[in-house]
Amino acid sequence: QCHESQIRSLMGWVRSTIPGQRCRTILSSNPPIDVSGDWIIAMFAPWLDNRHPNPAKHGELRWFVTVGDHEVGSKDIEVALADCYQEDGFWMIVITGENDDKPLRAKSRTFIPGTVDDNPFLRDTGYKAELDALEEPLRSAIRDGNFMAARQDEVDQLIPTNWIRAAQERWEPTAPYGIPMCSMGVDCASIRDETVLAPRHDGYYPKLICVPGIETPHGTDIASLVLKHRRDNALIIVDTGEGTGGQAYAHLKNNLAELDEIHTSVVAYLGKAPSAQRTAEKQLGFFNKRAEAYWRFREALDPGQEGGSPIALPDDPKLVSDLTAVTWELIPRGIKLLPKDKVIDKLQRSPDRGDAVVMAWTGGA
């Protein structure tokens, strides 16, 4: 498996000195088998993600531009040709607020599936029988090219992917009537990655509020963002593991000091702090607060509990990757999670969306 950054870097070398020369990148790949390859599903989501709102047919062209900069990061945006104009044989589009409002060149993508029957060198060698003998889901992935089927959970993955998908299927565009916002998890960023707010209405999570870290360089910026989106005196849970988080917490405590005399308005979350709690069955302890928080969220997502899981999560591919990237092990001190820096290495970014959602579950009514 290759990281997205490696593929993007190689794509940057696709060029020619010959005028009019057609240049393109061809990626040949089996479906990803773990979270490190999820990026390819996102890059070709109209063809590969069975939850995509506007799926594409195999071989159909779709057009994309990449926006952002080195400070806020980049993202792909699908554009319609009807919104583009032609210039020197290229499709161009202006997206307000991006690229200094200068035209961007749209580039096409498509996905064409392939099987062993398409390979004249292997088609008649008996190799297909080997593929038929694979266990599921590898058989559906390698033989049939089902990219979603190939996404296997790691043996020690903390939260099963199908539990998260089930929570997304329960999600509705609006919060349940009469259920107030009870908490908000706040994961802070100042330069890279994103500051993420995760409001919660009992088990319902609306769409996450994600702001590039470059737009929240100071604790005051984060505090203002939180107060703008907070409703119903919801409990604010702030990750104070880094400098801006501590600053934001202090500013919020100062702004909400009078309300704190009536009820707690804001609390600090420090994942590395020790935990004296145990699992629901009272069998196992936790290495630290981060392990406790994630395990509690895992317990809440468990569909086997009485009445089923109350959690409803928005359709957010990065959130899914964040939550499924975390693995665990049992040590003498209890349940220990994959260290956050290792999760960052796996994702090639911070798991800020997953952290914010989990924090929101740690407090509030």
pLDDT value at 202 more than 90:
yes
pLDDT value at 33 more than 80:
no
pLDDT tier for residue 51 given thresholds of 50, 70 and 90: low
pLDDT tier for residue 148 given thresholds of 50, 70 and 90: low
Mean residue pLDDT across the chain:
90
Residue-wise pLDDT tens digits, 237-248: 999 998 799 999
pLDDT for the residue numbered 236 = 98
pLDDT tier for residue 136 given thresholds of 50, 70 and 90: confident
Mean pLDDT of 22-51: 84
The CA-atom distances, in angstroms, between 24 and each of 11, 13, 223 are: 9, 10, 46
Fold exhibited by the domain 161-360: Nucleotidyltransferase; domain 5 (3.30.420)
pLDDT for the residue numbered 193 = 87
Q: What are the two backbone dihedrals, phi and then psi, of residue 139, each rounded to the nearest 5 degrees? A: -65, -50
Find the DSSP H helices in the chain: 4-11, 38-43, 45-48, 127-132, 138, 161-169, 219-229, 243-255, 257-260, 289-301, 317-324, 340-347, 352-360
Among the listed ranges 36-50, 74-88, 132-146, 296-310, which one has the minimum average pLDDT value?
A: 132-146
Mean pLDDT of 123-127: 90
Residue-wise pLDDT tens digits, 278-302: 999 889 999 999 999 999 999 999 9
pLDDT for the residue numbered 1 = 66
pLDDT value at 260 more than 70:
no
Among the listed ranges 122-126, 183-187, 273-277, which one has the minimum average pLDDT value?
A: 122-126
What percent of the chain shows pLDDT beyond 70? 96
d(CA 150, CA 152): 6
Residue 137 preceded by cis peptide, ω within 30: yes
Residue type, 176: P
pLDDT for the residue numbered 99 = 84
pLDDT for the residue numbered 53 = 60
What is the pTM assigned to this prediction?
A: 0.72
Mean pLDDT of 204-229: 96
Domain boundaries, the chain: 161-360
Mean pLDDT of 213-217: 92
* Burial letters 282-316, b for 16+ CB under 10 A, else e: eeebbbbbbbbbbbbbbebbeeeeeeebebbbbeb
pLDDT value at 257 more than 90:
no
What percent of the chain shows pLDDT beyond 90? 62
Structure tokens at 50: 């069975």
pLDDT tier for residue 223 given thresholds of 50, 70 and 90: very high
CA angle in degrees (0–180, nearest 5) for 273-278-280:
135
> What SS3 class is residue 324?
helix
pLDDT for the residue numbered 72 = 61
pLDDT value at 137 more than 80:
no
* Burial of residue 60, with CB atoms counted within 10 A of its CB: 0-12 exposed, 13-18 middle, 19 or more buried: middle
Which residues are within 8 A (CB) of 298 and not within 5 positions of it... i.e. 6 or more apart?
158, 159, 163
pLDDT for the residue numbered 304 = 94
